[in-house]
A and B are shown apart, each in its own frame.
Chain A
Amino acid sequence: MRYDWNFSVLAPYAYAFFRGTLLTIALSVLSFVIGTAAGTLIGSWKPSGVAERVFYLFNDTVRALPPLVLLFLVYFFPVRQLLGVEPLSAFWSSVVAFSIAQAAYSVDLTRAALDQVPRNSILAGLSIGLTRADLWRFVVLPDLVRQVLPAQIAFFIGIIRLSNLASIIGCQEVVFVTRQVSSQAFRSFEPWILVAAIYVALVLPVTWASRLIEKSKWLKRRS
C-alpha cells in the first residue's frame, strides 16, 4: 500500500491560503477584542431587579446557542426589512456573531472576578482618596486582568478554531479556501494537512505566550 504524496499541486494556491489565513486572523482578533471589551464593560455594570433578570436571561440564552446557530441568526437577520439598512457581509456577520458569544462569556468571567477583588484593597484605595476612575485603574482593573487572563486566552484560542464556521456562510477565510482548493486541485488530503499546519502555527504561539504570562511575576496575585 502506498499513497502518492503531492504537495506541489498546492503551490498555485499559496496566495489564496495566505489571504485566507489573514482573514482568519482578522476574524479571530476582531471578534475577541470587540467581544471581550463589550463583555467586560457589561459585566462591570451592576444592574438590579428586573433589569438584572432580563439581562441574565438574554446572556444565558446566547450561551445556550450553538455558535453556528448564532451565526445564522445574525447572517439571515432581515436587516433590510426590519432596520432598512444594507445587510452585513459574511465577514462582518461572523465578527458580530462571534463577538456576541465572546461577550456573553466575558460578562460572566468579569462578574465572578469582580467579586474576588479583595474588599480590603478597595477600602484601602478609598481611604487614600482615590477617585472612582483611579480606584478602577489602580486597584480593580489590575486584579481583574490577573484573574481573567488565563481563561480569556483559552477563549481566544477557542475563537481561532471556531472562526472556520464563517466559511459556511461564504466568508473566505482559510477553511473556505481549503475546501475550494481541495475540489479544484483534485487532491483532498494535502490541502487539509496544510490548513492543519496553519492552525497549529497560529495557536501554538498563543499557547506558549499564555504559559509565559501565567508564569510571569507580573500576573501573580499576591495576597
Chain B
Amino acid sequence: MAALIAKGLRKAFSDTQVIKDLALELQSGEVLALIGRSGSGKSTLLRLLALLERADGGDAWLGQEQYLSEGIPTSAPFRFRRRIGFVFQDHNLLPNFTVLENCTLGPIRSNHIEKREAEGDAETILKALGVADKLRDYPSSLSGGEAQRVAIARALLMRPQVLLLDEVTSALDPESIEAVIASILKIKSLSKTDNLSILVVTHILRFAESFATRIAVLDDGRIIESLPANCFAAEAHSSVARSFIERDLRGWTDSK
C-alpha cells in the first residue's frame, strides 16, 4: 500500500521549471532516499509534498486520501501538514521557545494532546536522541548537531504518517553528522506510527544505502532512476547516479 503518491507535480520559479511532471510513490513503511545534484529540485519537491510551497499543478495522495488536486490542497493545508513530518536543512527551531516547548507546541496545539503527556513523550524521545539534558535550553545555546536532533524529535512527536527529511546533515560538521545520522537510524524504532514511511533527501550515498530501502535519482525536475538500495551501486546507470557512486568511494566519514 502506498503511503504517499504524487503525480504530474509541477513547480516553476519565475521562468525556471524546477519540478516537471514528477511522479513519485512512497510505499507504506518504506524508506526512500532521494539523491540528485544541487539545484535538481530535491528540496522544492519535499516542500511541495509537505504543502510548504504552492505547487503549480499535480495531484497527491496521503494514504487513500487525495490532498492535492491540480496543485490545490483539497482541504485546509494544516490538516495535511499535521500528518506529514518535516525536518529542515537548518533545524528551524523556534528561537524563543525552549527545546521542550519546541517539541510540545505541535502535539499540544495541532494534535490536541494533554500538556503533561506531550512533555512526557518529548522527554522520552529527546532522551533516546541524547539531548535530554537540554530540555530548558534555547536553540541558540545548542550545537548544530544537537539542534538538528531536537528538530528530528519535534517532527517525530507529531506522530506523522510520512516523514520528510531535507538534507538534514548538510549544514553540519562531520562529528555532528555522525550523531544526527545515528538519530535518524533510530527513528523507526522510536516512531509511534506503525509503518512510518520516510522520504529522505541526502547527498551522502553511503547513508542512503545503509538506511533506505530504495534510492531514487532526481535530475532536471524528474525522477530518472529508482532502484532497491542494496543493488543501487551495482545497477544504477544514470550519469548523476554514477558520479554519486564514484564520489562516495572517497567516503563521507569513516564511521562504522
Contacts and interface: CB of A to CB of B under 8 A. Distances in A.
Given A138-B105, A222-B140, A223-B140, A128 B110 contact: yes
Contact of B95 (A121, A131, A134, A138): A121
Interface of B: 50-52, 76-79, 81-86, 88, 90, 92-96, 105-106, 109-111, 138-140, 154-155, 158
A168 interface: no
Interface in A130-158: 130-132, 134, 138-139, 142-143, 146
B93 A126 contact: no
Given A123-B52, A139-B94, A221-B95, A128 B154 contact: yes
Contacts, number: 75
A128 B138 CA distance: 18
Given A222-B138, A222-B139, A123 B92 contact: yes
Given A127-B52, A129-B111, 15 more contacts: A123-B52, A123-B88, A124-B92, A124-B93, A125-B94, A126-B51, A127-B50, A127-B85, A128-B105, A128-B158, A129-B79, A129-B106, A130-B78, A134-B109, A223-B140
A92 B154 CA distance: 51
A10 B127 CA distance: 71
9 contacts: A118-B95, A123-B88, A123-B92, A126-B52, A128-B105, A129-B111, A222-B95, A222-B96, A222-B140
Contacts of A183: none
Given A128-B154, A129-B110, A121 B92 contact: yes
Nearest to B139: A222
Contacts of A142: 96
Contacts of A125: 94
